[in-house]
Amino acid sequence: MNRKLPREELTPPERQATWSVRAKVGANEALTLARPADYGHDTSGRPAGPARRAGPWHWMRSHRRQVTLLAFVVPALTYVILFFVYPLIYGFMMSVERIGFIAQSGPYIGLHNYIVEINDPVTREALTNTAIFLVASLFFQFTIGFGIASYFSRRFFLSRFLRSLIIIPWLFPPIASGTIFAIMFAGQGGIIDETLQSLHLISSPIFWFDSSFKAMFVIIFVNIWIGIPFNAVLLYSGLQDIPDELREASALDGASAWQRFRYITVPLLRPVSLIVIMLGIIYTVKTFDLVVVLTNGGPDNGSQLMSTWAYTLAFQNFQTGQGAAVANMLFVFCMIVAFFYIRATRREVAVA
């Protein structure tokens, strides 16, 4: 068992194969890790080696590469299964069971929770609100972020300093930002209404939280404020990556500023924009803390989002199964976006 084997005997021939780097010919250079042809644990065509020996220890020694690979994969796999797959499955199980206050498993009721929630007017309101919140937030975050990015793409006095200040809203915890905005939007003594009144733009306070429309406006406004830096910073770096020569050359060719923007900047910024928008969708659709602090989904569910509605169902009404169903609907939506995100980033990498 413990007989020492010569080193060569232990070492499968593929060990000697080298990892080679092959450069593709053409405009796009991509690094491709060439795989040795006999990579794998197929030992046919080689003299019977120690792999044939019985016992796990010998197997491990003869399959050193596979064991190494496994050693790398297992921790990651364990982590993913423990912290992602298991909760996901558990969440799904909860959504097809009748579960209340105490989240132990209940009787299986199929898609009942989903059907109840789809037919619930509050869920529909939350769905509409989430859609409005998503589209409005993304549109303004992106356009304003792009404006700021273009503004800073030219160097001027203090531009670097100011650029670093732009990131601040992104650094604040949403709970803190939300609380401060709640105070600012207050009808009595809130700085926004007071300022508008002192400018004689309004005669009495607006009371931002007494209608669905205004409450939605407030949460969208604050979310845009929070999201601008993220968009601005990524788009700024995207703009920096566009070679100046391209713009200069097209200017020499007589392209107007609009044409340079339309035919140079926009197409070259496309990969970054896609990433920004898709990450934005995922960030925005799961916004929760901000809304809880500002409106708590009110008035009368008027600013309820899918995320806050799932929480309200599960942890305030203790209709845990239905809360899980709503959360899963949100999750499926995020998965679809994530799928397109991954596909888009892959394609962009391939194209770039």
> Which stretches of the chain bind other proteins, using CB under 8 A?
100-104, 116, 186-189, 205, 207-212, 292, 295-296, 298-302, 315-319
* 13/187 with CB nearer other proteins: 187
How far apart, in whole angstroms, are the C-alpha atoms of residue 322 and residue 334? 19
In angstroms, what CA-CA distances link 269 with 236, 272, 301, 352? 10, 6, 39, 11
Residue 187: CB minimum distance to other proteins, A? 5
Residue 165: CB minimum distance to other proteins, A? 31
Provide Rg for the chain, Cα atoms: 28
* 231/320 with CB nearer other proteins: 320
Residue 181: CB minimum distance to other proteins, A? 12
Residue 116: CB minimum distance to other proteins, A? 7
Q: Please give the full DSSP string across 255-318, using - where no structure is assigned.
A: --HHHHIIIIIHHHHHHHHHHHHHHHHHHHHT--HHHHHHTTT-STTTT--HHHHHHIIIIIS-
Q: Is the peptide bond before 299 cis (omega within 30 degrees of 0)?
A: yes
Strand-pairing partners, residue 31, are 23
* 250/301 with CB nearer other proteins: 301
Nearest to 13 by CA among 65, 67, 72, 54: 65
How far apart, in whole angstroms, are the C-alpha atoms of residue 177 and residue 291? 11
* 149/215 with CB nearer other proteins: 215
How far apart, in whole angstroms, are the C-alpha atoms of residue 120 and residue 309? 11
Residue 301: CB minimum distance to other proteins, A? 6
Judge whether 212 and 299 are in contact, CB under 8 Å: yes
* 311/341 with CB nearer other proteins: 311
* 10/186 with CB nearer other proteins: 186
Residue 304: CB minimum distance to other proteins, A? 10
Residue 114: CB minimum distance to other proteins, A? 14
* 140/208 with CB nearer other proteins: 208
* 103/246 with CB nearer other proteins: 103
Residue 231: CB minimum distance to other proteins, A? 29
* 212/307 with CB nearer other proteins: 212
Judge whether 334 and 286 are in contact, CB under 8 Å: yes
Residue 310: CB minimum distance to other proteins, A? 14
Q: How would you label 276-288 residue by residue, b for 16+ Cβ within 10 Å and e otherwise?
A: bbbbbbebbbbbe
Report angle CA 339, 69, 9 to the nearest 5 degrees. Answer: 155
Report angle CA 61, 62, 67 to the nearest 5 degrees. Answer: 65
How far apart, in whole angstroms, are the C-alpha atoms of residue 317 and residue 296? 14
In angstroms, what CA-CA distances link 329 with 27, 110, 127, 175, 200? 43, 15, 10, 25, 46
